[in-house]
């Protein structure tokens, strides 16, 4: 099997310092957390950005500031901006970071309840619009799916030319409103993607480490970080994203798979070599 790509989702749009004081908000904090993850073995930084008070934003200038700061510390890491943004943002507001022409960006392929009255809306036409904008700029989407039907949507839109093949999926497991984080669910998802695709698994909360362990065994890749889970183990807050990445890397090696470098991750994902 290929080496394991570790993605670090360092802050997200919802988790706060009240959940864990180490959650980064400022440009400096975001760069330092990215570096802690990179140093521990993360090849991809999945990036949301905040204003200094913790408010999530898709402002392209804020993304540019954060990306430049991360690049100074992690020159070869793959930076993957989120186009999910936060609930209630417009399409073009969510798409702002692709103006910076990143190698990858996320593409959410379905609508999902996020608890209470929050609904994360991604209609078919929205997905097509996002896919077209990414193709125009040569950006590889990470196809974010919260349930099996979203895989089917991605497959249909790939056939219609809105998403290029081979696709790289991110299975987000255990979200309130999406598929649960049980082993049978991950096996079902992994067996549902087209041949030649790759996948990463993200488990939310307490299902993070069980889900990434199974993903490694199934030949997939893994995502960890404060966006998904702020605990290193039950009741023990992680001191940094790096601690979560270190644990993921340790699990991978114990299961016989080495951790991919950024250059190896680019090769696995079909991205152009850096500075090519």
53 vs 124: CA distance, rounded Å? 34
**Separation CA 102–CA 105 (nearest Å):** 7
Tell me what percent of the chain is helix, strand and coil, each rounded to the nearest 5.
40, 20, 40
Contact 90, 59 (CB under 8 A): no
Element (H, E) at 66: helix 60-73
Q: Which helix (H) or strand (E) holds 213?
A: helix 208-217
Q: What is the CA radius of gyration of the chain?
A: 17
Give the pTM: 0.97
Can you tell me whether residue 40 is helix, strand or coil? Answer: helix
**Separate counts of helices (H) and strands (E) for the chain:** 9, 14
Q: Mention every residue, 6+ apart, whose C-beta is less than 8 A from residue 254.
A: none
For the chain, domains (ranges, CATH) are: 6-269 (3.20.20.70)
5 Cα distance to chain centroid: 11
Phi/psi of residue 220, nearest 5 degrees: -95, -170
Residue 245 tokens read as 């990445």
Q: First vs last Cα of the chain: how many Å apart? A: 26
pLDDT in tens, 210-228: 999 999 999 999 999 999 9
**Would you give per-residue pLDDT tens digits along the chain (276 residues)?**
789 999 999 999 999 999 999 999 999 999 999 999 999 999 999 999 999 999 999 999 999 999 999 999 999 999 999 999 877 789 999 999 999 999 999 999 999 998 788 889 999 999 999 999 999 999 999 999 999 999 999 999 999 999 999 999 999 999 999 999 999 999 999 999 999 999 999 999 999 999 999 999 999 999 999 999 999 999 999 999 999 999 999 999 999 999 999 999 999 999 999 875
Contact 220, 198 (CB under 8 A): yes
* Among 140, 152, 79, CA closest to 109: 152
Count CB-CB contacts under 10 A for residue 148: 16
């Amino acid at each position: 099997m290929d080496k394991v790509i570790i993605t670090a989702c360092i802050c997200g749009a919802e988790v706060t310092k009240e959940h864990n004081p180490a959650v980064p908000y400022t440009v400096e904090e975001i760069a330092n957390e990215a570096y802690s993850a990179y140093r521990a073995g993360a090849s991809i930084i999945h990036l949301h950005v905040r204003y200094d008070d913790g408010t999530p934003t898709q402002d392209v200038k804020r993304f540019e500031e954060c990306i430049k700061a991360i690049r100074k510390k992690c020159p070869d890491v793959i930076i993957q901006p989120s186009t999910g943004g936060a609930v209630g943002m417009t399409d073009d507001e969510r798409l702002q970071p692709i103006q910076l022409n990143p190698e990858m960006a996320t593409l959410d392929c379905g609508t999902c309840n996020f608890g209470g009255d929050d609904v994360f809306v991604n209609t078919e036409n929205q997905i097509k619009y996002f896919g077209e904008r990414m193709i125009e700029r040569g950006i590889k989407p990470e196809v974010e799916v919260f349930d099996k039907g979203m895989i089917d949507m991605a497959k249909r839109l790939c056939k219609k030319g809105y998403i290029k093949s081979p696709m790289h999926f991110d299975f987000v497991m255990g979200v309130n409103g999406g598929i649960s984080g049980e082993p049978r669910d991950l096996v079902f998802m992994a067996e549902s993607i087209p041949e030649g695709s790759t996948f990463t698994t993200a488990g939310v909360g307490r299902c993070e480490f069980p889900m990434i362990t199974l993903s490694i065994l199934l030949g997939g890749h893994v995502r960890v970080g404060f966006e998904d889970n702020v605990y290193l183990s039950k009741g023990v807050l992680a001191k940094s994203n790096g601690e979560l990445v270190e644990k993921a890397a340790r699990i991978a090696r114990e299961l016989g798979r080495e951790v991919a470098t950024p250059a190896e991750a680019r090769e696995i994902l079909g991205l152009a070599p850096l500075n090519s």
